[in-house]
Amino acid sequence: MARAKAKRAKKVTKAKRVAKQTKPIELYYWPTPNGWKISIMLEECGLPYKMIPVNIARGDQFKPEFLAISPNNRMPAIVDPEGPGGKPISVFESGAIMQYLGRKTGKFYPADERKRVEVDEWLFWQMGGLGPMAGQANHFRRYAPEKIEYAINRYTNEVRRLYGVMNKRLAARDYLAGAYSIADIACFGWARIWERMGMDVGEFPHFKRWLERVKARPAVQRGVALRVEEAGQVDIAKDKEAWKLLFTQGARA
Ligand SMILES: N[C@@H](CCC(=O)N[C@@H](CS)C(=O)NCC(=O)O)C(=O)O
């Protein structure tokens, strides 16, 4: 009884915490798998947000005001005007942003340590494995000026291996780590574009069912539908200015 009461009270506090957000979170965004992680998470949490496009094909990521919040010149990033202590906070790196929003709202990131460790394992698996490998596969398959067979095979095979790991994990469960969580949100972006990775989703039936399950969530649909008009107008593979900006970066002092 007392436990149920405490649980109810906890729920109310969390709901209040989200509802209390009066100023929108600023989302620095471009529609890519990394950007979708955060548009989906904000939609899932029901947090008010204002999208600020970072046109990475035209160099917005190098503007001093953006570098001040995201020193790695990569989107996504957020500014939460109502951060800890009621003061603004900026966060870069999609994994860190998802954890922050999960802690802030108490949603999709369990507080229970055992459950949290499980979510972290799959979140970091995405951040250090699936994301970078799929990114390289995409690069060598679509953007490299020469088709380098060794590189294409290396990264395509690694993505296939990683999809296989997910498939196996999902054979006996609906989501990667307990209930639907930031681990699923993180993996979804690179999973939904399996065709671009040269994969056949039919090879991974459990992965495919998970993909459909996540895709069916209205907040996920709203998150991936967050578009930026200019993004549709640039084909990075053919646009010399964008290609140079993105793929010939050196160290900046
Ligand atoms: N590890 C970063 C990766 C973010 C990332 O690679 N963003 C790309 C777009 S998907 C970007 O902003 N690229 C701009 C650039 O390369 O200058 C994260 O998860 O936030």
pLDDT, one tens digit per residue, over 204-229 is 999 999 999 999 999 999 999 999 99
| 77 CA closest ligand 1 atom index | 20
| 34 CA closest ligand 1 atom index | 10
Task: Please state, in angstroms and rounded to a whole number, the distance separating the CA atoms of residues 142 and 181.
Answer: 31
Q: What is the pLDDT of residue 20?
A: 83
Paired with 92 in beta bridges are 77
What is the CA(134)–ligand 1 centre distance, in A? 13
DSSP code at position 126: I
| 92 CA closest ligand 1 atom index | 20
Paired with 25 in beta bridges are 49
Task: Please state, in angstroms and rounded to a whole number, the distance separating the CA atoms of residues 37 and 42.
Answer: 9
Q: What is the pLDDT of residue 128?
A: 98
Considering the chain, what percentage of its residues have pLDDT values greater than 90? 89
Q: What are phi and psi of 225, to 5 degrees?
A: -85, 0
Task: Please state, in angstroms and rounded to a whole number, the distance separating the CA atoms of residues 195 and 220.
Answer: 19
Pocket mutation for ligand 1, best pick of 74, 136, 248 (most atoms within 8 Å of C-beta): 74
Alpha helices, DSSP H only, in the chain? 2-20, 33-45, 64-67, 94-105, 113-125, 131-138, 149-169, 182-192, 205-215, 218-224, 240-247
What is the CA(172)–ligand 1 centre distance, in A? 33
Sorting pLDDT into bands at 50, 70 and 90, what band is 160?
very high
| 37 CA closest ligand 1 atom index | 19
Q: Whose CA is nearest to atom 16 of ligand 1?
A: 246
| pTM beyond 0.75, yes or no | yes
**CB of 175 within 8 A of CB of 181?**
yes
61 C-beta closer than 6 A to ligand 1: yes
Q: What is the mean pLDDT of the chain?
A: 93
Q: What is the pLDDT of residue 252?
A: 76
Mean pLDDT, to the nearest integer, of 3-31? 72
Mean pLDDT, to the nearest integer, of 127-144? 97
Mean pLDDT, to the nearest integer, of 113-132? 98
CA 152 to mean position of chain CA atoms: 24
If one compares 113 and 234, the residue with the highest pLDDT of the two is 113
Sorting pLDDT into bands at 50, 70 and 90, what band is 5?
low
Sorting pLDDT into bands at 50, 70 and 90, what band is 189?
very high
193 C-beta closer than 6 A to ligand 1: no
Q: What angle do CA 139, 202, 126 make, to 5 degrees?
A: 45
Write down all domains in the chain, each with its CATH number in brackets: 2-107+224-247 (3.40.30.10), 113-216 (1.20.1050.10)
Q: What is the pLDDT of residue 92?
A: 98
Q: Whose CA is nearest to atom 8 of ligand 1?
A: 74
What is the CA(191)–ligand 1 centre distance, in A? 17
> What angle, rounded to 10 degrees, do the helices at 205-215 and 149-169 form?
80
**CB of 120 within 8 A of CB of 131?**
no
Cβ neighbours of residue 104 closer than 8 Å, sequence gap 6 or more: 17, 80
Considering the chain, what percentage of its residues have pLDDT values greater than 70? 92
Terminal CA-to-CA distance of the chain, rounded, Å? 61
Q: Whose CA is nearest to atom 5 of ligand 1?
A: 74
DSSP code at position 98: H
What is the CA(209)–ligand 1 centre distance, in A? 28
Q: Whose CA is nearest to atom 6 of ligand 1?
A: 74
Mean pLDDT, to the nearest integer, of 30-49? 98
